[in-house]
Structure 1
Amino acid sequence: MDVTVSELLELFLQSPLVTWVKTWGHFRSGNDDNLAVYMELVDGIILNQIMLQIDPRPTNQRINQHVNNDVNLRIQNLTILVRNIKTFYQEVLQQLIIMNLPNVWLIGKDPLSGKSMEEIKKVLLLVLGCAVQCERKVEFIDRIQQLDIETQAGIVAHIQELLLVESLRFRQ
Structure 2
Amino acid sequence: MDVTVSELMELFLQSPLVTWVKTFGSFGSGNQDNLTMYMDLADGIFLNQIMLQIDPRPTNQRINKHVNNDVNLRIQNLTILVRNIKTYYQEVLQQLIVMNLPNVLMIGKDPLSGKSMEEIKKVLLLVLGCAVQCERKEEFIERIKQLDIETQAGIVGPYTGGDPQHVHPPL
Q: TM-score scaled by structure 1?
A: 0.92
| Residue 30 of structure 1: how far off its partner (Å) | 3.1
What is the DSSP-based 3-state SS (H/G/I as helix, E as strand, rest coil) of the residue aligned with 1:23?
Answer: helix
User: Would you say the 8 A contact 1:42–1:74 is kept in 2?
Assistant: yes
Distance 2:46 2:162 in 1: 22
Matches within 5 A, 1:122-133: 122-133=122-133
State the partner residue of 1:69. 69
Question: Is 1:34 the equivalent of 2:34?
Answer: yes
- Pair 1:155–1:162, CA change in 2 (3 A): farther
The CA RMSD measured in Å over matched residues stands at 1.7
> For structure 1, which runs of at least 5 residues remain unmatched after alignment?
168-172
**CA offsets, 1:13-47, max 9 Å, x none?**
00000000011113276364100000000000000
**CA offsets, 1:107-161, max 9 Å, x none?**
0000000000000000000000000011110000000011111101111113325
- Pair 1:61–1:30, CA change in 2 (3 A): same
Distance 2:30 2:110 in 1: 23
Distance 2:92 2:161 in 1: 20
> For structure 2, which runs of at least 5 residues remain unmatched after alignment?
none
Matches within 5 A, 1:22-101: 22-27=22-27, 30=30, 32-101=32-101
- Name the amino acid aligned to 1:12: F
Distance 1:86 1:96 in 2: 8
Distance 2:36 2:112 in 1: 12
Distance 2:150 2:61 in 1: 37
- Pair 1:161–1:42, CA change in 2 (3 A): farther
State the partner residue of 1:109. 109
User: Would you say the 8 A contact 1:129–1:162 is kept in 2?
Assistant: no
- Pair 1:32–1:62, CA change in 2 (3 A): closer
Distance 2:119 2:77 in 1: 15
User: Would you say the 8 A contact 1:88–1:130 is kept in 2?
Assistant: yes
Question: How many residues are aligned here?
Answer: 167
Identity percentage of aligned residues? 83
- Pair 1:116–1:144, CA change in 2 (3 A): same
Question: Is 1:143 the equivalent of 2:138?
Answer: no
State the partner residue of 1:170. none
Q: TM-score scaled by structure 2?
A: 0.92
Structure with the higher helix share, 1 or 2: 1
State the partner residue of 2:155. 155
